[in-house]
Structure 1
Amino acid sequence: MSPSLYVPSHGRWVVNKPAVLDGWTYGQRTLPRAQQPRDKKAISNDRKLAPVIEEFQQLIEDDPELFMHFHRMFDEVQRQNSELNHVYSYKELMVALDRIITQAPRFGGASNLVMGVPMYAVLAPFCNTPSGYSVFTNPKVNAQLHKIFDVWTEFLVSPESCYVLSTNEQCWFSPMALDVMSQRLGTSFYDAWVCRDSDPNKHYGFTSWDDFFTRRFRPQMREVLDPDNPNLITAACEAYVHTIQSNVRALDKFWIKGHTYSLSHIFNHDPFTPLFVGGTVYQGILSSLDYHHWHSPVDGIVRKTCLIPGTYYAARLDSDPDPDVVSRSQDFVTAVAARALIFIESDNPVIGLMCFVAVGLGEVSTCEITVKEGDRLKKGDDLGSFHFGGSTHCLVFRPQTPLKPFPHVQPGTVQNVNSNIFYIEGGSEKN
């Protein structure tokens, strides 16, 4: 494998090149509608737009406030190169979105990952504008985006979406794609992941884009170390560490940088919230190329699960020219984005009740919980998974839990799922 090919994403989803994003958006607008959709009635080439996109456009035009914000966000976005062909209006944006939902995400190359999250790649330049913030926090817009995602999902779970699971250029089993996906794992794609077939020309046996996106590691890849030690807490996801913060408040100004976590908003005012005030939050962001299942960080019993609806592309505004503002808003989105909560009572009373928070960002952002109240868990047991979109997650602990992170657990580092990330002070520190 060529070491020069692998460009780590560090949790980002789109390339730091505004001109590339502008060109990508324009390219989507000019593409013919793809032929792969399963639902030919819902998305057909004899219509100008898919019905769900027409409905979105009508929503914009019928609501005077939305109509104003959609116009203004095009004026507010920073243009880096006036010679490029940009998308300059909400109608052109609707055409780009219409084309995207007829396609499966493609591999974009080692240094250009915009195709893995194509809808966010189109919307990213607008997310960091005042009017874009108003648009992407609007409940009507998020409800309509959910409808759009539902239509797209029908295609992404269908066999027709396998056309991107081939050895062709910009497909996920091309030589470059396999090289990029294999380098960090240190082994071949086939040896790392559970495949139903050994032939990439047969999609390695994956039955759809979503089947590929939610692929699982082979058992030997991510084993729990020292599973019988109750004083060790393991990583729930394969993720880049964003931050570890203690003394977290019940209510805080989560929209202001430096005032990061607001527990009441993260938990949607759940009755368990007071138990965690003053506690610790560990947060990590998943790469679009990596593993998207969640695993229990402790032995224990599931006390409660819930799904919370929310935003998909809202971000904390800043002056950074890097277009990937949502990836920079990891703490902010825990309070506003669509998310799942899984409260687990550890068998170790020193740990006690803790919570896993899955936060879906962008694209379909589906959080699928596969455990239920009363289930008994061992460290490493499956909790659920993300589907389709980018994602981040948190582990939240009570203030009484004497957590200590291992020295290797630092912001910006990758922590493998099921690896030891915390130990209980006074307990075993074996790693």
Structure 2
Amino acid sequence: MIKYFNRKSKKYEIEKVAGGTYLNWTYSSPCGMKLLELIIKKKVFSKLYGNFCNSKYSKKKISQFIKDFNIDINEFRENYKNFRCFNDFFSRSLKDTARPIDSNKNILISPGDGRLMVYENIDLNKIVQIKGYTYSLFDLIDDPKIAVKFKNGTCLILRLCPTDYHRFHFIDSGICESTHKIKGNYYSVNPIALKNIANLFCKNKREWSIFHSDNFSDILYVEVGATCVGSIIQTYLPEGTIKKGDEKGYFKFGGSTVILFFEQNKVTIDKDLLKQSNLGYETKILMGETIGTKFTY
């Protein structure tokens, strides 16, 4: 059971997990863990399922998925009946009106839809993965010179569920460097898995880049793949001019994670988000939603 805080209703809710029974069995039973290590975490497993989600045979899953998880089809830029396969639906674009963005340069927005955890004054060697589990930023990006820039900074962990909109965006105007790719496994990023696999983010396939933000200084973007994520697709133009809210990329099928690191004294996170994170709860967030402000002395 995964409980999260709904910011709009100001109530705690239970997440309806796609494949919840399978996840619990895989990450909580000896037999499941053995199968996980032998097959499920491997690239070939996710690639095969990704190929199925790219095929016409997967199209029949779309209608039932929308019904089971009460997904709002009115937000879709394209009629879901026109999607050729499940991955077309999964990586769908939304209407501009579906995710309004505050253009105020001092407002910090969420880079995507998902469940958000935030941490301030981070220890680079003990960044919280989930309560009781930590990892090192040095191990996450394998670049000590970049990692040290974010000492005592702020970390945002946005977990995208399979039911979420799966495109991620820039939180400010600026210029983004090229993407660095790190090979890895394909563990689930669901809290069920995070509680059972130490250093999970540092073990999974991931990509990272430095975004030179106009108003929040340098930001480290990290995208983490997961079970059945066929690909992490970067759609931005490296070194090109970026506007606030522009698309950075998208994930193909599967739950995934976007992690942002800010330098010290660059952002002030909204108090309600900090409170829930300190209590150990994720907060449900939409892309473009205000989550903080520019730090002022």
Q: Does 1:172 align with 2:57?
A: no
Deviation of 1:313 (Å): 2.2
Deviates further, 251-260 or 373-382: 251-260
* 2:25 alignment partner, SS class: helix
Which residue, 210, 218, 227 being the options, matches 1:343? Answer: 210
- In 2, Cα distance between equivalents of 1:334 and 1:264: 12
- TM-score of the two chains, using structure 1 as the length reference: 0.57
Q: Does 1:148 align with 2:15?
A: no
Q: Size of the alignment, in residue pairs? A: 280
Q: Closer, same or farther in 2 for the Cα pair 1:358/1:251, shift >3 Å? A: same
* 1:204 alignment partner, SS class: helix
**Which one has a larger percent strand, Structure 1 or Structure 2?**
2
**Offset from partner CA, 1:260-307 (integer Å, 9 cap, x none):** 341112212353111112211111212221100000011110023122
**Offset from partner CA, 1:328-366 (integer Å, 9 cap, x none):** 569943222212213101112xx2110122222212352
CA RMSD of aligned residues (A): 3.2
1:109-258 equivalence runs, <5 A:
121=22, 124-128=24-28, 136=36, 142=41, 145-166=42-63, 171-172=64-65, 176-177=67-68, 180-182=70-72, 189=73, 191-196=74-79, 203-225=80-102, 227=103, 229-241=104-116, 243-252=117-126, 257-258=131-132
What amino acid is aligned across from residue 373 of structure 1 in structure 2?
A: P
What amino acid is aligned across from residue 248 of structure 2 in structure 1?
A: L
Alpha carbons 1:233, 1:420 under 8 Å: kept? yes
- In 2, Cα distance between equivalents of 1:215 and 1:310: 26
- In 2, Cα distance between equivalents of 1:294 and 1:255: 20
- In 2, Cα distance between equivalents of 1:331 and 1:239: 22
What amino acid is aligned across from residue 193 of structure 1 in structure 2?
A: F
What amino acid is aligned across from residue 153 of structure 2 in structure 1?
A: G
**Offset from partner CA, 1:81-137 (integer Å, 9 cap, x none):** xxxxxxxxxxxxxxxxxxxxxxxxxxxxxxxxxxxxxxxx2x642324678667756
What amino acid is aligned across from residue 157 of structure 1 in structure 2?
A: N
- In 1, Cα distance between equivalents of 2:16 and 2:251: 15
What amino acid is aligned across from residue 312 of structure 1 in structure 2?
A: Y
Q: Closer, same or farther in 2 for the Cα pair 1:262/1:11, shift >3 Å? A: farther
Deviation of 1:159 (Å): 2.1
Deviation of 1:423 (Å): 0.5
Which residue, 278, 283, 286 being the options, matches 1:413? Answer: 283
Which residue, 264, 287, 307 being the options, matches 2:161? Answer: 287
Alpha carbons 1:10, 1:240 under 8 Å: kept? no
Structure 2: gaps spanning 5 or more residues:
1-11
1:322-401 equivalence runs, <5 A:
325-326=192-193, 328=195, 332-348=199-215, 351-364=216-229, 366-401=231-266
- In 2, Cα distance between equivalents of 1:240 and 1:331: 20
Structure exhibiting the larger radius of gyration computed from Cα positions? 1
Alpha carbons 2:57, 2:85 under 8 Å: kept? yes
Alpha carbons 1:137, 1:311 under 8 Å: kept? no
What amino acid is aligned across from residue 404 of structure 1 in structure 2?
A: T
**Structure 2 equivalent of residue 30 of structure 1:** none
Q: Closer, same or farther in 2 for the Cα pair 1:367/1:207, shift >3 Å? A: same
- In 2, Cα distance between equivalents of 1:309 and 1:342: 15
- In 2, Cα distance between equivalents of 1:266 and 1:230: 29
| Identical-pair percentage | 22
Alpha carbons 2:194, 2:200 under 8 Å: kept? no
Which residue, 134, 137, 146 being the options, matches 1:260? Answer: 134
Deviation of 1:309 (Å): 1.7
**Structure 2 equivalent of residue 54 of structure 1:** none
* 1:165 alignment partner, SS class: helix
- In 2, Cα distance between equivalents of 1:252 and 1:373: 31
* 1:294 alignment partner, SS class: strand
- In 2, Cα distance between equivalents of 1:335 and 1:416: 26
What amino acid is aligned across from residue 246 of structure 2 in structure 1?
A: D
Relative contact order (alpha carbons < 8 A, sep ≥ 6): 1 or 2 greater? Answer: 2
What amino acid is aligned across from residue 259 of structure 2 in structure 1?
A: C
Structure 1: gaps spanning 5 or more residues:
1-6, 16-20, 22-120, 183-188, 197-202, 316-322
**Offset from partner CA, 1:117-163 (integer Å, 9 cap, x none):** xxxx2x6423246786677568x974xx3123323333321223212
Which residue, 138, 146, 152 being the options, matches 1:278? Answer: 152
